[in-house]
């Protein structure tokens, strides 16, 4: 059987959350199913590292799809032409985008629908595209895969879709994420924080990630504590960041806030493992991969008590209210003042992290594809 796959997020040295989902699941699915043929549809010249086996046929469209107008052209004009030419029996999209102009059975992965609940976080055309097309994508697809029970319920309730049509496949964790030696941790602190302990945030600097609340909490933590902790923000800016810049300029401890920008997975592992705790105070998460990465790095977790995060963190985190920076500050004090609490959270994280592996993810995604084939 030939299966067409949307692979627009497989970008060399630029895999984000959805890109990692696509990479880790597809390479396992291709390897585990040598009797099937996979047509990978890229929107630019592909990298050979993403051709996971001899049963992969790569093809690219002429124009990169990196703008709402081009998203429309790519999926509703170019992709249907490819599907008509190569005649696959199924189309799978690991990122939500699909073609509505085909009669080929489709399985799509909708990771979350944050754009429904927080449209103001996105540029105008992006939010208009998402909120116009994703309901259509959801109803058109034969099956939907999502990454948490929270997202399953949210998609079903918001789009009025039967939960029986939606399968949950949790994200996994890259094998690079593990605990570093004490010697390595000291070297990392020397490089990034002048040997000081630090809290870390991992992710894009997006409004729904609550960076302003985190900065407020950190400023108050420093004012009310004698401990010279730094705050490391590891992630790339997203769209307009003038409010973050304004906040930083008003802070007494601005010089102790370190922006790394986007870093490699190797560096991210070092930063996570060497930190005192991950702080993830998001207003909305469909999953929250950094929480699992921190658990594999033996790093305590502070995270929000909303959306999918309690489901992913289990009992292995200190939970905060993202609308109340004082709860973030309180959790920082708890971590900074109690080694026993840190060890307790790390031990619970070892148990919780066993729920999340890319092998399980790939198996569940393939099962969803098989259900569609049998329809």
What's residue 15's pLDDT?
85
At the fourth CATH level, the homologous superfamily of domain 2-172+357-374 is Glycogen Phosphorylase B; (3.40.50.2000)
Average pLDDT over residues 145-157: 98
Instruction: Give the per-residue pLDDT at 240.
Output: 59
Nearest CA to 196 among 146, 169, 222, 230? 230
- Report d(CA 232, CA 192) in Å as an integer: 8
Q: What pLDDT sits at residue 17?
A: 85
**Domain(s) of CATH 3.40.50.2000: residues in the chain:** 2-172+357-374, 182-355
Share of the chain above pLDDT 70, in %: 99
* Helix/strand/coil for 107: strand
**Residue 119 to residues 67, 140, 361, Cα–Cα distance (Å):** 17, 23, 29
Q: What is the Cα–Cα distance from 316 to 343, expressed in whole angstroms? A: 11
Q: DSSP characters for 114-179?
A: HHHH-GGGS-HHHHHHHHHHHHHHHHHSSEEEESSHHHHHHHHHHHT--GGGEEE------TT--P
> Percent of the chain at pLDDT above 90?
89
Residue 58 has pLDDT above 80, yes or no: yes
- C-alpha span between 137 and 148 (Å, rounded): 19
pLDDT above 90 for 375 = no
pLDDT digits (tens, 9 = 90+) for 194-209: 999 999 999 989 899 9
Can you give the pLDDT at residue 308?
A: 98
Residue whose C-alpha is closest to residue 67's, from 132, 126, 10: 126
Rounded distance between C-alpha atoms, residue 131 and residue 134, angstroms? 6
Q: What is the pLDDT of residue 365?
A: 98
User: What is the mean predicted confidence (pLDDT) over 77-100?
Assistant: 96
Mean pLDDT of the region 274-282: 98
Tell me what pLDDT residue 374 has: 75
CATH code of 182-355, in short, is 3.40.50.2000
**Model pLDDT for residues 242-273, shown as the tens digit of each residue:** 889 899 999 999 999 999 998 988 999 999 99
Mean of the per-residue pLDDT values for the chain?
A: 95
Give yes or no for residue 140 having a pLDDT over 80: yes
- Cβ neighbors of 2 (< 8 A, separation 6 or more) are 36, 37, 38, 39, 86, 87, 88, 89
Q: How confident is the model at residue 23 (pLDDT cuts 50, 70, 90)?
A: very high
In the three-class reduction of DSSP (H, G, I as helix; E, B as strand; rest coil), residue 53 is classed as coil
pLDDT at 338 over 80: yes
User: What per-residue string of b and e applies to 211-221 under the rule 16 or more CB within 10 Å gives b?
Assistant: bebbbbbbbbb
Q: What is the pLDDT of residues 171-229, one digit of tens each?
A: 999 989 999 999 999 999 999 999 999 999 999 898 999 999 999 999 999 999 989 99
Element (H, E) at 108: strand 106-109
- Per residue in 296-316, pLDDT (tens digit) is 999 999 999 999 999 999 999
More confident residue, 345 or 63: 345
pLDDT in tens, 99-131: 999 999 999 999 999 999 999 999 999 999 999
DSSP category for residue 237 = B
């Amino acid at each position: 059987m030939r299966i067409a796959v949307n692979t627009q997020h497989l970008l060399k040295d630029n895999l984000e959350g959805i890109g990692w989902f696509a990479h880790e699941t597809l390479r396992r699915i291709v390897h585990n199913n040598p009797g099937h043929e996979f047509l990978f549809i890229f929107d630019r010249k592909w990298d050979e590292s993403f051709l996971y086996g001899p049963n992969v046929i790569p093809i690219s469209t002429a124009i990169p799809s990196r703008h709402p107008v081009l998203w429309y052209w790519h999926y509703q004009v170019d992709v249907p032409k490819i599907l008509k030419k190569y005649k696959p029996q199924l189309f799978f999209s690991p990122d939500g985008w699909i073609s509505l102009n085909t009669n080929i059975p489709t399985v799509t992965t909708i990771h979350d629908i944050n754009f429904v609940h927080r449209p103001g976080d996105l540029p105008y055309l992006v939010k208009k595209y998402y909120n116009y097309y994703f309901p259509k994508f959801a109803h058109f697809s034969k099956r939907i895969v999502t990454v948490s029970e929270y997202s399953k319920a949210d998609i079903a309730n918001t789009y009025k879709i039967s939960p029986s049509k939606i399968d949950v496949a949790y994200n996994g964790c890259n094998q690079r994420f593990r605990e570093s030696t004490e010697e390595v941790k000291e070297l990392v602190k020397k490089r990034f924080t002048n040997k000081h302990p630090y809290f870390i945030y991992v992710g894009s600097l997006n409004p729904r990630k609550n960076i302003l609340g985190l900065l407020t909490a950190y400023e108050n933590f420093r004012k009310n504590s004698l401990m010279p902790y730094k705050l490391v923000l590891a992630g790339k800016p997203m769209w307009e960041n003038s409010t973050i810049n304004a906040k930083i300029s008003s802070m007494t401890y601005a010089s102790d806030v370190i922006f790394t920008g986007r870093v490699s997975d190797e560096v991210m592992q070092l930063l996570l493992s060497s930190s005192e705790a991950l702080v993830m105070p998001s207003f909305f998460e469909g999953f929250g991969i950094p929480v699992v990465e921190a658990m594999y790095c033996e790093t305590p977790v502070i995270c929000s008590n909303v959306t999918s995060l309690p489901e992913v963190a289990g009992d292995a985190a200190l939970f905060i209210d993202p609308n109340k920076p004082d709860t973030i500050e309180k959790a920082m004090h708890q971590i900074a003042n109690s080694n026993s609490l840190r060890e307790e959270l790390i031990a619970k994280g070892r148990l919780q992290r066993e729920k999340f592996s890319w092998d399980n993810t790939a198996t569940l995604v393939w099962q969803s594809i098989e259900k569609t084939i049998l329809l």
